Structure 1
Amino acid sequence: MLSVSRRIRGSVLLALAAVAFASAAAVAPVIVPEAGGASGSPAAVSPSPLSLLAAPALLAAGSVFLVAGAAALVDADLSARAALLSPALGAVGALALGTGIGTDFGAPLAAFAAPEALTALGSGLPAVVAASALGGGAIAPVVRAATTEDTVTLLVGSALLLAAVASGSEAPIALASGGVSGAVAVGSLWALDPGTWRP
């Protein structure tokens, strides 16, 4: 039988994830293919001066809450390996938002049609946000692997953290923002879902 209280906690976590992703869509830097013109490269548009701080933080927290909330909603034990979905969701979400999908669902088609737009997506501000969200999301599987003594997942999560640090080294503040947010999200899960997250 499903635990009603855990289902309620799962619903709250999923709601927090939805708010985080919706907020990230409003502030994430976007590659605009048309802005480059015939001779220049596509431009990155940041809706807010704090985009590089807010977007990775929101994506990292949202991805951690999404994976933990889905497990809590169905009253499943979240394995350390399933927690590896968190960094993947954060990074993929950042790149998807970087194409403009948060404001226009047809925007990725324009980005994929222009090779220079894809290059800018992979090396510009969206890539920094993706690396930072990856680092923040990777804290969840590292903590989960440490508490369940899953050595393989601990190594994979640590490798993801190192890859995020190497990729986002040009924007340490964004990297720190994603990391702190991921740590805060995991810390809050110790209070909201202690049966799963505490050793």
Structure 2
Amino acid sequence: MKQTYIGLLRHAPTGWNSVKRIQGQHDVSLPQESYDIINEWIPSIMHYPWTRILTSDLARAYHTALALNKHTNVPIERDSRLREQDWGAWAGHTIQDLRETTPEEIARQEAAGWDFKPPGGESRIEVLNRTLEAMHEATRRWDGEHILIVTHYGNIASIANHLMHTKFLPEEGKLIKKHALHRLIAEQTAPETTQYSILSLNEVI
């Protein structure tokens, strides 16, 4: 098998991001000013020879991918497994609001690490598993290519913490910056197994 190169990129910011409101799987669109930000990313993104784009099907990621693809001009495909973590009952709130109204539950969830799971939502380990599933399938289908994956912070953080073997606890700090490019190499070591290694995290774009 050949080496497959994967780039992980979070979508451009939304209005909800600007007020730190939890989006989860709410389908929030990009404001017009976000397209100016995407244009600023183009020189860094075009530094690499992407052969296709795989994107979350949520509007904020898909529209980011479409804007980038005006320059990369490669095949583009959506995958619902690349959606942000489902935050259940906490979606639409801010973390600050939740710390004030449900401080004990927030503390309990943050101490759970990989098992962090908002009420009615999904856990970080569930996000990791479906994201890895999508990446494995992409690697199998497009062996040896350069795949740019446009997704969400939760997915990228899960992949990074998995590859860095963390417990995903607050005291370990955050591995991932929100607006940066993260690059991996993927190799299929068996028909159903893909081995990932980190080329770089948090490349400035």
Q: TM-score, normalised by structure 2?
A: 0.29
Bigger RCO (CA 8 Å, 6+ sep)? 2
Question: Could you say which structure has the higher strand fraction?
Answer: 2
